[in-house]
Structure 1
Amino acid sequence: MRDGEIRSEWSTRFARAVAEEIRHGVRSGALTWAEADELLARLRVLVDQALDLAPQFN
């Protein structure tokens, strides 16, 4: 398996885990849908920043 495929599989599992945790937070009343949207927006920025810092592979 190529490195890109491994990263793709990991990112898919990560996205699904985050989505499930956020859905659980909304179902349990810990988060509103508006808070969940804000959390996702902030997480997206954080991940984008982390990817910018990651070493580039050719």
Structure 2
Amino acid sequence: MRDAECRAEWSTQFARTVAAEIRSGVQSGALTWGEADQLLARLRVLVDQALDLPSMAV
């Protein structure tokens, strides 16, 4: 159970960090909201693929 708690904490912190960085990019003018949406969509695909890697190796 402790391992699951650590993973949940890590993933929550990761999501918050990504959101804060993207928000900062939009506020600074480095990204538009449309670009931020595309970036998040691509990141979601990348993370999904990374999470599927162990099952692909079996």
Query: Would you call these one fold, judging by a TM-score over 0.5?
Result: yes
- The total of aligned residue pairs comes to 55
TM-score normalized with structure 1 length: 0.89
Q: Aligned-pair RMSD on alpha carbons?
A: 1.2
Runs of 4+ in 1 over 4 A off after TM superposition: none
Instruction: Give the share of equivalent positions with the same residue, in percent.
Output: 78
Match of 2:36 in 1: 36
Higher helix share: 2
CA displacement at 1:2 relative to structure 2: 1.2
- Whole-Å separation in 1 of the counterparts to 2:7 and 2:50: 14
Q: Any stretches of 5+ residues in structure 2 without a counterpart?
A: none
Name the SS of the counterpart of 1:18 in structure 2: helix
Provide the C-alpha distance between the structure 2 equivalents of 1:5 and 1:28, rounded to a whole number of angstroms.
34
Deviations 1:4-55 (A, max 9, x none): 1100000000000000000000000000000000000000000000000146
Task: Please give the TM-score of this superposition, normalised by the length of structure 2.
Answer: 0.89
Unaligned 5+ runs, structure 1: none
